[in-house]
């Protein structure tokens, strides 16, 4: 496997066999799956999905745990609905993460990633303590399956995330670094942030975006190379910190345009890797 192999984020559903065929033909070596809907985690769909993955020859590097009822419409919606932050859904979502871990183990992927929600800045806040306990429970469950739990970046600064990792104090708590999210949530320069979090980074999203135009809004995603991340500087920083793991292209749209954007992003990344001497 080459350094920084290219992959894509794929959701599970109808049309997956064709999408797997096309990304394989395009030369992608890895993929991150979005946690399968419940009907795909029950037989016979579960066996069908594992067979599709095995036959594709594309290595699953991570499964992203997403939860029913989440909304990314604006900052208020994220605070109210995303991840493990809402107390009323926390227990159920911990159990959903454990089910996702069982599937992740079966497809021999090493990581689960997730947005856990906005981490409070005050460590004395009961919500902060609740998040710490929830992530500890998840990490302990994953450890028995030799899996990492990777926190997706964006909703807090790199410094706050680093402090949270220290407070959870679990060896298998890592980071899935998304540079566009740092910009779209307005939480920091991704080039500086990835250096702060370097020792925990086990996965990277290649995604682009622009800064928010208002405090209560999120910035907008863009095709790779058309936002404000500075993707070539980002790759150069990854090389500098010694990261050699997968570069996973994420495009938060659906349909044919998503596939076309995957292919365009691959061409761009291949050119940049060659320019930077990443082989």
Whether the link from the prior residue into 44 is cis, omega within 30° of 0, is: yes
* Model confidence at 273: pLDDT above 90: yes
- The beta strand positions in the chain, using DSSP E, are 6-10, 30-34, 59-64, 111-114, 148-152, 173-177, 201-206, 208-209, 221-222, 247-249
Which CATH number fits the domain that encloses residue 269? Answer: 3.20.20.150
**What's the pLDDT at 14?**
84
Give the CA distances from residue 138 to residues 56, 134, 170, in Å, rounded to whole numbers and listed in that order: 30, 6, 10
- Paired strand residues for 176: 152, 203
* Model confidence at 55: pLDDT above 90: yes
**What's the pLDDT at 258?**
97
| 8 Å CB contact between 198 and 241 | yes
Region 211-230: mean pLDDT is 96
Confidence of residue 246 (pLDDT cuts 50, 70, 90): very high
Domain that holds residue 92: 6-276
57: in domain: yes
**What's the pLDDT at 2?**
85
Region 69-84: mean pLDDT is 96
Structure tokens that stand for 249 in this block: 């292209």
* Model confidence at 177: pLDDT above 80: yes
* Model confidence at 279: pLDDT above 90: no
Q: Is 202 helix (H, G, I), strand (E, B) or coil?
A: strand
**What's the pLDDT at 1?**
73
1: in domain: no
Task: Return the percent helix, strand and coil in the chain, to nearest 5.
Answer: 45, 15, 40
199: in domain: yes
pLDDT in tens, 90-108: 999 999 999 999 999 999 9
Split into its structural domains, the chain has a count of: 1
* Model confidence at 144: pLDDT above 90: yes
**What's the pLDDT at 93?**
98
Region 48-54: mean pLDDT is 95
Confidence of residue 120 (pLDDT cuts 50, 70, 90): very high
| 8 Å CB contact between 143 and 172 | yes
Quickly tell me which residue has 């030799």 as its tokens: 146
Region 189-209: mean pLDDT is 98
| 8 Å CB contact between 177 and 140 | no
Residue environment code for 57-90, b if the CB has 16+ CB neighbours within 10 A, otherwise e: ebbbbbbbbbbeebeeeebeebeebbbbbbeebb
The predicted model scores a pTM of: 0.96
Q: Is 222 helix (H, G, I), strand (E, B) or coil?
A: strand
Which of 206, 83, 65 has its CA nearest to residue 148? 65
| 8 Å CB contact between 261 and 244 | no
């Amino acid at each position: 496997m080459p350094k920084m192999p290219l992959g894509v984020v794929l959701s599970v559903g109808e049309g997956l066999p064709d999408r797997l065929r096309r990304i394989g033909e395009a030369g992608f070596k890895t993929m991150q799956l979005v946690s399968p809907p419940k009907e795909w985690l029950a037989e016979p769909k579960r066996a069908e999905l594992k067979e599709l993955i095995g036959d594709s020859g594309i290595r699953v590097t991570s499964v992203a745990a997403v939860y029913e009822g989440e909304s990314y419409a604006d900052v208020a919606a994220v605070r109210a609905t995303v991840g493990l932050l809402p107390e009323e859904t926390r227990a159920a979502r911990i159990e959903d993460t454990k089910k996702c871990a069982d599937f992740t183990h079966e497809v021999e992927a090493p990581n689960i990633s997730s947005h856990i929600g906005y981490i409070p800045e005050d460590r004395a806040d009961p919500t902060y303590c609740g998040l710490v306990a929830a992530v500890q429970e998840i990490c302990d469950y994953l450890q028995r399956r030799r899996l990492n739990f990777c926190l997706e970046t964006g909703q807090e600064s790199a410094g706050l995330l680093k402090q949270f990792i220290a407070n959870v104090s679990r060896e298998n708590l890592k980071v899935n670094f998304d540079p566009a999210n740092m910009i779209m949530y307005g939480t920091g320069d991704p080039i500086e942030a990835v250096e702060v979090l370097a020792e925990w980074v086990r996965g990277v999203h290649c995604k682009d975006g622009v800064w928010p135009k208002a405090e209560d809004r999120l910035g907008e995603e863009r095709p790779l190379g058309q936002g404000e991340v500075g993707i070539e500087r980002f790759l150069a920083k990854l090389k500098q910190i010694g990261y050699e793991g997968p570069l996973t292209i994420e495009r938060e749209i659906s349909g044919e345009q998503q596939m076309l954007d995957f292919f365009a992003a691959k061409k761009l990344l291949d050119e940049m890797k060659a320019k930077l001497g990443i082989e």
